[in-house]
Amino acid sequence: MKKVLITGGAGFIGSNFVNLLMEDRPEYHITVLDKLTYAGNLKNLAKWKDNPHFTFIKADLFDKIKIEEIFQKESFDFVVHFAAESHVDRSITGPEVFLQTNIFGTFYLLESIKKYWSPNSNEKRFLHVSTDEVYGSLGDSGFFTETTPYAPNSPYSASKASSDHLVRAYHHTYNLPVITTNCSNNYGPYHFPEKLIPLMILNCLREKPLPVYGDGKNIRDWLFVKDHCHAILLVLENGRIGESYNIGTRNEKNNLEIVETICKKMDKHFPDKKPHNRLITYVKDRPGHDFRYAIDPSKIEKELGWKPKYDFDSAIQQTIDWYIQNENWWSEILSGEYLKYYQNQYGIN
Ligand code: NAD
Ligand code: TDX
C-alpha cells in the first residue's frame, strides 16, 4: 500500500484530489495535513472520515517542529503539496501569511523530506502544485510554456514563485525527487466563494451585485478541477523527476464572458429572476491586475498523453448545479469571517 500525504487537502483542489484518490486508488492510504484556515473545510472530506484508508492531521506548515515530527513518525511514498494561501486579493491587503505558508511552509516540508527520505530514492515523489501566475502577465498573444521566464506580479504569485524556486533548488542541490505542476485557473465543486466563478454563482442565487473589476476584459484560461486532478495523478505516477508540467485546456475567456455565461445559465434555472446580467456592477480594478494568462499544455499532452475529459459548457453547468444543490455547504461559509472580508473588499454587504 502506498502512503500519500496531501497538504491542503481540505481546500478546493486538494479535496477534489482526495476524492479522486479515494475512489480510484483503493490501494493507497491517504493522509491529509491541513491547517484549516478560512479556506479549509472538513465538510469537503466528510464522507471519508471513518474510512480506514484515510487519516486527517490538523497542522500548520509554518510550524517547523510539528512538520518534522510528522515525517519522523510516518514514511510517506508520495507527498502532494496543495497547501497555500491562494487568493490574490488577500495577498494585496495582507501579504505576510503568504510568505509564511507558501515560502516557509514549503521550505519546512522540503527540509523534513531531506532529513527523512533516503537519498536517490526512486520510489518516492514530492509533487509541488503551483500556478501559471508565476510567469506574470501576457499581452494579446503568446502562451506560457515550462521555459517561460518567471515574472510574478502580486505578493501571492511572488510567494508561489519563491516556493517553485526552492523546490527546484532542493532537487538540484540535494537530489530530492520533486516534480512541479503549474496550472491555470480552476473552477468546480468546493471552490471557496471569494474567487470569480463561485462568487458570481452565489451572488446570482442571492440576487446580489456581480462585482466585475475594471472593464471585465482580463483573460483567464479556465480548467475544470476534475481535469486538473486527473492531470496531477498522471504526473505523480508517471511524470519525470526534476521536471515541471504546465496544465491547462486552451480555454481562454475574459471575465465578462464568464459572468455573462453564468447569468444566461441562471436565467434558464430561474426564469422569474431574469435577466441576471442586470446585477453586473463594475467596481474598482485590482491593483497590478494581470491582463492575460494562457497555458500551452503540449508537454503534458505529448509526454504523458494527457487529455481533458470535460468541455467548458458542461463543466460550468455541473459547477452551477453543484452550488444550487449544496446550499448547506455554502450558507455556513457566507457568515462570520467571510462577511468581514466581503465588506472590506467590496465596501458592500
Ligand atoms: P484553497 O485556498 O482552496 O485551499 C488551500 C488549503 O490549504 C486550505 O485547506 C487551507 O486550510 C490549507 N492551508 C493554508 N495554509 C496552510 C498552512 N500554513 N498549513 C497547512 N495548511 C494550510 O486553495 P486551492 O484553490 O485549492 O489551491 C490549491 C493549490 O493550487 C495552491 O497551492 C494554489 O496556489 C494552487 N493553484 C490554485 C489555482 C486555482 O485556480 N484555485 C490555480 C493554480 C494553482
Ligand atoms: O470579484 C471579483 N471580480 C473580478 O472581476 C473577483 C474575485 C475577481 N475578478 C477578476 C480578477 C481576475 O481577472 O476575475 C479574474 C479571476 O480572479 P480570481 O478568481 O481571484 O483568480 P485569479 O486572480 O486569476 O487567481 C486564480 O488563479 C490562479 C487563483 O485564485 C490562484 O490561486 C491561482 O494561482
Nearest ligand, measured from the Cα of 32: 1
pLDDT score for 96? 98
Distance in angstroms (rounded) separating the CA atoms of residues 309 and 316: 13
The mean pLDDT of 146-165, rounded to a whole number, is 98
Q: What is the pLDDT of residues 237-269, one digit of tens each?
A: 999 999 999 999 999 999 999 999 999 999 999
Query: For residue 347, what is its C-alpha cell?
Result: 465596501
Residue 12 has pLDDT above 90, yes or no: yes
Contact 345, 89 (CB under 8 A): yes
Nearest CA to ligand 1 atom 35: 130
**Best substitution site from 134, 220, 221 to test ligand 2's pocket, by max atoms within 8 Å of Cβ?**
220
Q: Residue length, the chain?
A: 349
Residue 125 φ then ψ, to 5°: -145, 140
d(CA 144, ligand 2 centre) in Å: 18
Domain ranges of the chain: 2-187+222-247
Distance in angstroms (rounded) separating the CA atoms of residues 198 and 114: 38
11-20, 133-142, 340-349, range with the lowest pLDDT: 340-349
Residue 88 has pLDDT above 90, yes or no: yes
Lining ligand 1 with CB less than 6 A are: 7-8, 10-14, 34-37, 39-40, 60-62, 82-86, 101, 105, 129, 131, 160, 183, 185-186, 192
Question: Helix 255-269 and helix 312-325: axis angle, to 10°?
Answer: 60
**Best substitution site from 5, 12, 16 to test ligand 1's pocket, by max atoms within 8 Å of Cβ?**
12
pLDDT score for 6? 98
d(CA 34, ligand 1 centre) in Å: 10
Per DSSP, the three-state class of 271 is helix
Domain 2-187+222-247: give its CATH code: 3.40.50.720
Q: What is the pLDDT of residues 304-325, one digit of tens each?
A: 999 999 999 999 999 999 999 9
Nearest ligand, measured from the Cα of 225: 1
Q: Which atom of ligand 2 is nearest to the CA of 84?
A: 32
pLDDT score for 122? 73
pLDDT score for 348? 74
d(CA 4, ligand 2 centre) in Å: 30
Neighbours of 175 (CB within 10 A): 14
28-37, 186-195, 330-339, range with the lowest pLDDT: 330-339
Query: Which of the four pLDDT bands, split at 50, 70 and 90, describes residue 62?
Result: very high
d(CA 160, ligand 1 centre) in Å: 11
* Burial of residue 20, with CB atoms counted within 10 A of its CB: 0-12 exposed, 13-18 middle, 19 or more buried: middle
Distance in angstroms (rounded) separating the CA atoms of residues 177 and 122: 8
Nearest ligand, measured from the Cα of 101: 1
pTM: 0.98
